[in-house]
Structure 1
Amino acid sequence: MTYAHRAAAFRALHRTGEPLLLPNAWDHASAAALAQGGFPAIGTTSLGVAAAAGKADATGDTREETLRLAQGLARLPALITVDIEGGFSERPTEVAELAADLVGAGVVGVNIEDGRPDGTLADTAPQCELIRAIKESAPDLFVNARTDTYWLRAGGADETERRAAAYRQAGADGLFVPGLQDDKAIAALVEGLPDVPLNILFAPGALTYARLAELGVRRVSSGSLLFRAALHGAVEAARSITRGGAVPQDLPSYADAQALSAAYGDKDQPPTRR
């Protein structure tokens, strides 16, 4: 399948049937497991990628790690979209170069956010310049423009709608509003931008997947949830050893994990049993 066909297939996932449930991986093994689990598209979580590298999230310091991971994930039998935080640069030319490198790796989508490390929102005009630069460099790349108006509690519904319209005008293919869980506000965004798929971050205990579907949401992301669940599971499994508790019995076996690497990992590396 050509890149153009893969990019078109990813776009189609936002327009057919139920909302696209996008699980977010943080390394090759987690992404390979999700692909084996039957998910047609997989995203990355910037928190997980940064934490795996021993770095802080949302500081613009994981460009190389993100690109390296993306190059490996492109071998998976799934469509890959990558979280590039704020673009890892404020220079449109450098963000455009990153987009071109990701397309070269086979990535079909990116998520770019307007929240900044100091807790403020980027000005709309320069953020639109970054979006335009990406689209000019990689026209087929699905640009999911994330606005942190609700995440940072900076602006609410009016500011969200204003930014959504501006990002769409700049060429964004989708809109992502993490932190938004209000029925009326979600419905208003869906109605106001009918040609732009709305992406909502799943929040345990808040709106369900089914309710988001009813409201017209076209994409539901897990964000860092799976990564945090994996951390919790690892600690609890370790504690169960000393407590004499039961370790989950349906865990992947050594052979299962090895098979993921054999199928989608580096073919030049011989298997090593540890």
Structure 2
Amino acid sequence: MSIDAKAAAFRKLHKPGNPFVIPNPWDAGSARMLEGLGFKALATTSSGFAMTLGRKDYGVTREEALAHGAAIADAVDIPVNADLENGFGLKPEDAAETIERACKTGLAGGSIEDSTGDKQNPVIDDDGLALARIEAALDAVKKSGRDFVLTARAEAFLYGIGELDKVIARLNAFADAGADVVYAPGLPDMDAVRAVCKSVEAPVNVLILGKLAQHSVGEFAEAGAARLSIGGGLAWNAYGTLGAATQMLTEGRFDMLSANRDGAKKVAPFLKA
């Protein structure tokens, strides 16, 4: 499948009220396994990838993130969306450069968020700058001459400073500029999900995190969501199996290994020979 065909297929998956689950692999092996299980698209995870390098989230460079996204995309035959953080810089030119380079890979899409990397002021508070960065990213897609699904993210809730009206206003500005998908990770409850989906004229991605993990795909469909992602959830669960190493060290036992291996055997057949 050509990259334009992958991007077109990815775009068609986004149907408000009929969400698809897009899991987040952290390496080529997990990507192959998830594809084999039947998922229609995948997305990289910044935190999951950072863990593979022994780093915390936001601890990778633009070059590393793009190479990682390209490697995931090359490992599977389904569309892959890349978590491109804040475009690796706060200027519109930074977002544009990141998307320009992403368009030269096999990625079907990517996201740009309004985070700053500053713990004291974690989200861009200038609405004009936040919008200009998305507009620059969209312009980079246009100049690339290929299809690329751009997701625009408003991060306030993820940092505990979200105000629903302001987040919705920012998402609407992104949608009006032409963003293909909008995303406000960290929404606190289903009422907030409904409000965003009802108020924004673009397909909405919802991060399954916190209380939202208690709800089903059907409930998110009723709320109007178009895409459901899990961020670093699978990666954190996978690394959690290292608890078996603690058992070896502290108890001198190995029975946790068998339980973890049995789970891996179910997806191992999808790896390449």
Range into which the TM-score falls when normalised by the shorter chain: 0.7 to 0.9
- Equivalenced residues, count: 259
Aligned partner letter, 1:197 = P
Cα separation, 2, equivalents of 1:55 and 1:168: 33
Query: Scaled by the length of structure 1, what TM-score is found?
Result: 0.85
Shift, 1:95, TM fit: 2.7
Is 1:223 matched up with 2:228? no
Is 1:245 matched up with 2:255? yes
The C-alpha deviation readout for 1:43-87, integer Å capped at 9, x for no partner, is 01101112222333235x421211111222222111100001100
Shift, 1:4, TM fit: 2.5
- In the alignment, what sits opposite 1:118? 118
Cα separation, 2, equivalents of 1:239 and 1:245: 9
Secondary structure at the residue paired with 2:159?
coil
Q: Which runs of 5+ in 2 are unaligned?
A: none
Check whether the contact 1:42–1:79 (CA below 8 A) recurs between aligned residues. Answer: yes
Aligned sequence identity (%): 32
Alignment of 1:96-245 (within 5 A): 96-119=96-119, 120-122=122-124, 123-139=126-142, 140-193=147-200, 195-203=201-209, 205-206=211-212, 207-209=214-216, 210-236=218-244, 239=247, 242-245=252-255
Check whether the contact 2:90–2:116 (CA below 8 A) recurs between aligned residues. Answer: no
Check whether the contact 2:3–2:106 (CA below 8 A) recurs between aligned residues. Answer: yes
- In the alignment, what sits opposite 1:72? 71
Check whether the contact 2:44–2:81 (CA below 8 A) recurs between aligned residues. Answer: yes
> Which one has the bigger helix percentage?
2
The C-alpha deviation readout for 1:217-249, integer Å capped at 9, x for no partner, is 111111011010001113236626932425225
Check whether the contact 2:17–2:221 (CA below 8 A) recurs between aligned residues. Answer: no
Check whether the contact 2:152–2:179 (CA below 8 A) recurs between aligned residues. Answer: yes
Aligned partner letter, 1:128 = L
